[in-house]
Amino acid sequence: MSATAEQDARLRAAIEHTLLAAEATERDIERLCDEATNHGLFGVCVNPVHVPVARARLGHATVQLVSVVGFPLGATASEVKAHEATLVVAAGADELDMVLALGAARAGDWSRVQADIEVVVASAQGRPVKVIVETAKLEDDEKRLACHAARRAGAAFVKTSTGFGGGGATEHDVALMHGEVGGVLGVKASGGIRTRAQALQLLNAGATRVGTSAGPALLLPS
């Protein structure tokens, strides 16, 4: 296999083709699912309201269905996040990406941050939970502590960004997060990833998943 083909295989196995815009229609979601299936991408990521549509469109395809919890602010009660997680699991989600309690993180209340993650992990019923750290809003030491809280709470991944928080994935943040939890938790780079070169740089920095709305565009023509 050529180096280019190896890169393509690596990207296909990592990309979560994403559409989280509030104005997305059911037809848009169906197109997203078809693109992910046709290009052999790892998964799709959609808002909770679209999980039933995506599940029906994907059927029994190997493409994984990811949805979000407490998105995009993370500023809802833990009980609400837990209930939302329960609903998306019942609707057919395979993985959940939750926004951590950002205000609690900024205040240094890491026990609350951890407890907030724990209730979503419990409600996920064994499905992988990714904790969105929203790196643009935190200092490096806070990012490290957020990674530790996610690990203690039983999350499977930490994730850089919602894409709605004024910043996106950077090599610095991916490397920092990988340095804290790599080998134990996965790292999802997300937010503003638009080119193949950028995605590969983030994978080389330690990302194990890439969330992007430009999934097929990152691949070379078959």
Contact between 36 and 215 (Cβ < 8 Å): yes
Active site residue 137: no
Determine how many CB atoms are found less than 10 A away from the CB of residue 133: 32
Please say whether the dihedral angle defined by the alpha carbons of residues 53, 14, 17 and 176, taken in this order, is positive or negative.
positive
Q: Of 97, 130, 137, 143, which residue is the catalytic one?
A: 97
Active site residue 159: yes
Q: Of 81, 130, 137, 188, which residue is the catalytic one?
A: 188
Contact between 39 and 216 (Cβ < 8 Å): yes
* Helix 171-181 × helix 140-153 angle, to 10°: 40
The C-alpha atoms of residue 67 and residue 93 are separated, in whole angstroms, by 6
Active site residue 130: no
- What residues act catalytically? 97, 159, 188
